Amino acid sequence: MYYLLAAAVIVAVVILVIHFYWSKPYLKEEQSFTKGDGKSIRVGIISDSQLPGDGKPSKWTDRVEKALELVKKNKADVLIYAGDFTDVGTKKAWKSFREKYEKVFSDQDIVPVFVMGNHDYWLPQLNKGFDIPTPAKMQKRFMKYTGEHPFSHKVVNGYHFIGWSSENGSYDKSYTNTDWARKEIESAIKQSPDKPVFVITHLNPENSVYGSDEWGNSDIYSVLKDYPQVISFSGHSHYSLLDERSIYQGEFTAINTQSIDYIELESGKFNGSVPCDAYGESIADEVPAIMMMYADEGGVKIDRLNAVTGEKIKDSWIINDPCDKASFTYTEEKRKAENKAPWFEADAYGEIYETVSSKGKPITNVVFTAAKDDDFVHSYAIEYFDAEGNKLSFEKTDYDGHVLKKDGKTQFADRTIYFSSFMVGLDKMPEKEELRLTGHIPENAAYIKIYAVDSWGEESEPIKVKLNNI
């Protein structure tokens, strides 16, 4: 009796382990489609809508609908969705996506290439304890509401699209099925050796596109680096498509897809990775972005579009020979060589003024003439100097003036770095920038120097602003 009970317990434990932690990427067979002229393709690319778990109509559901309508308006043959459809993968969130998708494409045949993001594997607080977000369960939910498989290989007019989802909601160990990815890529190259292979993941290949140094995945990169024919599309980071680092060419081509929910940027800036008090409720409200890609025998063109207005937000990216690494033009080396450092005009000036924050705390601000650049000024750096010209260090604070400590020790710095206003749209960047100074200005500081910095790290000559004995 005891042996039977023990055996039953063991079996139950094994079943639970499988249920909670294991999911098998049962791949559907490769699917082929013919669209339009049978030769060229038009592809809409969307990512990171993160629809709320309650599924209620909102600005987020409206934005998804507008983005889908824009893809339809541009007569796309294929729709890429690079993950994080939902903020937490509730049935209500998935239902809200499904309703918008069916509404927009009810009368248009489009080939979907969908992958799961980390948020699509999550549920809020175990959803009150009854809906446990196991990988297998969340993959099944994804398939139910999208009609697609998390791991797919589709061929449209001879162009191969490989949808490579994460296997769970983690970051580091969520793309372990690298053998499968290699097999599919090599099959695509064998079938269409003169065409690029499009690989869609949610996480970025590590150390490739803008944002991938903080949000990238090494397993993805370890595969893609061996195939120069690959053009990778990935979401997750939410980094702005306005930045030219959003396209990468090195061992392969990689493209960041931004987000239509909210924009996040790199850490380390004083006004925050989602800048505090700077752009209202969400800076994505200003320039939510999608892409349209056009591919034919002449190469690949990618347009970055405002997801609401449909207007191009910058020049197109042109890849004339996507299979030949020697022809890559968007390499870091080439673009840095062509780049010009930012500059302040000769009449640029700045001044200091005192005000009160939204939380009622006294703050010191500097307003100054915005710098110029051959692309755009990405950020500004401020340093403090005494009357003799010596650079000063100071206690680091957060945006609200709280002193920052590490291991119980106060942190010090000699420079503060801020994002510029580029996230509001390059055509809306102000003629004057306004920045909040650090909460602990050195007592003997007589003036500051302001440097303009571009996306490639090049700095301008500084302008000086007196501190008026503050």
Alpha helices in 350-448 (DSSP H): none
Phi and psi angles of residue 92, each rounded to the nearest 5 degrees, phi first = -65, -40
Q: Which of the four pLDDT bands, split at 50, 70 and 90, describes residue 368?
A: very high
pLDDT higher than threshold 70 for residue 129: no
> Is pTM, for the whole model, over 0.85?
yes
- HEC-encoded secondary structure of 125-155: HHHHCCCCCCHHHHHHHHHHHHCCCCEEEEE
The fraction of the chain above a pLDDT of 70, given in percent, is 90
pLDDT tens sequence across 397-444: 998 889 999 999 999 999 999 999 998 889 999 999 999 999 899 999
Contact criterion met (CB below 8 Å) for 232 and 189: no
CB 147 within 8 A of CB 157: no
Q: Give 272-307 pLDDT, tens digit per residue.
A: 888 765 554 555 567 889 999 999 999 999 999 999
- Integer angstrom CA distances of residue 291 from 99, 164, 168, 305: 22, 19, 27, 6
Condensed to tens digits (0 to 9), the pLDDT of residues 107-122 reads 889 999 999 999 999 9
β-pair partners for 204:
216
Structural domains in the chain, sorted by start: 27-337 (3.60.21.10), 350-466 (2.60.40)
pLDDT, tens digit, 9 for 90 and up, residues 186-226: 999 999 999 999 999 999 999 999 999 999 999 999 999 99
Handedness of CA 162, 36, 290, 49 (dihedral sign): negative
The structure tokens listed for 98 are 């499904």
**Residue 29: pLDDT band with limits 50, 70, 90:** confident
Residue 4 has pLDDT above 60, yes or no: no
Rg of the chain over Cα atoms, rounded to whole angstroms, equals 25
Query: Residue 8: pLDDT above 90?
Result: no
Mean pLDDT score of the chain: 91
